[in-house]
Amino acid sequence: MEKRSSIVGGLILILVGALFLLMQLFPGLAEQIDMAQQWPFIIIVVGGVFLLTALLGTPPLAIPGSIITGIGGLLYYQNLTGNWGSWAYAWALIPGFVGIGRMLMYLLQGKARRGIREGGRLVLISAVMFVVFAAFFNGLGGLGRYWPVLLILGGAALLFKRP
Would you list the DSSP string of 94-158? HHHHHHHHHHHHHHHTT-HHHHHHHHHHHHHHHHHHHHHHHHHHH-TGGGGGGHHHHHHHHHHHH
Please name the amino acid found at residue 108: L
CA-nearest of 43, 62, 41 to 53 is 62
**Tens-digit pLDDT profile for residues 114-158:** 989 889 899 999 998 888 888 777 766 556 666 677 778 778 877
Q: Cα–Cα distance between 114 and 12 in angstroms, integer?
A: 31
Q: What is the pLDDT along the chain (163 residues), one digit of tens a residue?
A: 556 666 767 777 787 788 778 878 887 776 776 666 778 888 998 898 899 888 888 899 999 999 999 999 999 999 988 888 888 889 999 999 999 999 999 999 999 899 898 898 999 999 988 888 887 777 665 566 666 777 787 788 778 766 6
Say what the pTM is.
Answer: 0.72
From first CA to last CA, the distance across the chain in angstroms is: 39
